Amino acid sequence: MHQLPQTLVNGLALGALYGLIAIGYTMVYGIVQLINFAHGEIVMIGAFGALTIHLWLPGGTPLPAALPLMLIGGAIASVAVATAAERFAYRPLRTAPRLAPLITAIGLSIALQQIVWAFYPDAKKSRGFPQFQGDAFELAGNLHLQRDDLFVLIAAPLCMLALGLFVAKSRTGRAMQATAQDPDTAKLMGINTDRIIVLAFAIGGAFAAVAAVAQGLRAGQINFEMGFILGLKAFTAAVLGGIGNIYGAMLGGVVLGIAEAAASTYIQHIPGMQQLGGGGWKDVWAFALLILVLLIRPQGLLGERVADRA
């Protein structure tokens, strides 16, 4: 049990990262009922955008100074690709059967991976990503917080709260809610729903870039395939929390992150399950949790039953 606080801290950092990506899935789904399976690749693109800025900056630029610029670079790359995907891949299919955009998303996901693999310098293997220097922070005796985790633990709640306020209070945010609830009627109010949809993709892209930088810091490296498992986990988090709900996405991320950390720490101590514990099996437990939630509470933790669309 003495490992519990450390497990929670690790899980929280991982979960905050999942949550940031999950918000991108949930925003887009909430407005166009599309699972953008290329969203993991939007994260990957953001990571390479941030790395590009890092490589441009003069050597020896301290990381705290470089970080804001890297975030901007990552966000520009992610937002550009996400909105282009909406405009050229998804919008022409908006009235098509739902399978068509889904297959398009998978195709786009593979295409984006291959483009980075083929054209980004040295991207055929992992590329190093800068990390903070120095030891982990000691929060209490034996309880540590990795320096690189501090970033996501600050950025994720800030991003989520800012988005929550924007959606609830601003004129554009209200237009987003109206478009999510009833797109045709939103048009009758004078809302340009095409622009609202682009905005949802753009916000998802910006959050993906923040998550990408967080992941780069944690791992110290990025690669063209990194979006696949991150995207899948974040999708799980979005469903777990109740797809379409911003706070649900973050909650789902945190629950998933903690579950994963707990599974890697504890399952190996259960008699007879030694070989099912440790980091190697954490993905299995994460997806087992998804299946469990889908069986018990298919609308997710904070989701509403889908019945109110008359």
Question: Applying CB under 8 A, which residues contact other proteins?
Answer: 171, 174-175, 177-178, 181-182, 184-193, 308, 310
User: Least CB distance from residue 269 to other proteins, whole Å?
Assistant: 45
Q: How many residues does the chain have?
A: 310
The residue among 193 and 223 lying less far from other proteins, judged by its C-beta, is: 193
Q: How many Cα atoms within 13 Å fall on the side-chain side of residue 127?
A: 19
User: Least CB distance from residue 249 to other proteins, whole Å?
Assistant: 17
Q: Locate 199 and state its tokens.
A: 């905005």
Give yes or no for a contact between 123 and 116, defined as CB atoms under 8 angstroms apart.
yes
The residue among 188 and 295 lying less far from other proteins, judged by its C-beta, is: 188
DSSP state letters, 1-16: -TTHHHHHHHHHHHHH
The residue among 182 and 225 lying less far from other proteins, judged by its C-beta, is: 182
For residues 82, 37, 259 and 144, what is the CA-based torsion angle, rounded to 10 degrees? -30
The gap from C-alpha 45 to its chain's centroid, in whole angstroms, comes to 13
What are phi and psi for residue 222, nearest 5 degrees? -135, 160
Give yes or no for a contact between 223 and 7, defined as CB atoms under 8 angstroms apart.
no
Q: Which of 232, 298, 299, 227 is nearest to 260 (CA)?
A: 232
The residue among 140 and 188 lying less far from other proteins, judged by its C-beta, is: 188
User: Least CB distance from residue 308 to other proteins, whole Å?
Assistant: 5
What is the distance between the alpha carbons of residues 180 and 115, in angstroms, rounded to a whole number? Answer: 33
Q: Residue 20 is inside which H or E element, if any?
A: helix 4-32
State the angle between helix axes of 226-241 and 39-56 in degrees (0 to 180), rounded to the nearest 10.
Answer: 130
Three-state SS at 220: coil
User: Least CB distance from residue 95 to other proteins, whole Å?
Assistant: 11
Give yes or no for a contact between 267 and 7, defined as CB atoms under 8 angstroms apart.
no
The residue among 144 and 174 lying less far from other proteins, judged by its C-beta, is: 174
User: Least CB distance from residue 110 to other proteins, whole Å?
Assistant: 34
The residue among 135 and 308 lying less far from other proteins, judged by its C-beta, is: 308
Give yes or no for a contact between 96 and 27, defined as CB atoms under 8 angstroms apart.
no
The residue among 296 and 310 lying less far from other proteins, judged by its C-beta, is: 310
User: Least CB distance from residue 168 to other proteins, whole Å?
Assistant: 10
User: Least CB distance from residue 266 to other proteins, whole Å?
Assistant: 39
User: Least CB distance from residue 246 to other proteins, whole Å?
Assistant: 13
User: Least CB distance from residue 303 to other proteins, whole Å?
Assistant: 13
The residue among 70 and 246 lying less far from other proteins, judged by its C-beta, is: 246
The residue among 44 and 199 lying less far from other proteins, judged by its C-beta, is: 199
How would you label 227-248 residue by residue, b for 16+ Cβ within 10 Å and e otherwise?
bbebbbbbbbbbbbbbbbbbbb
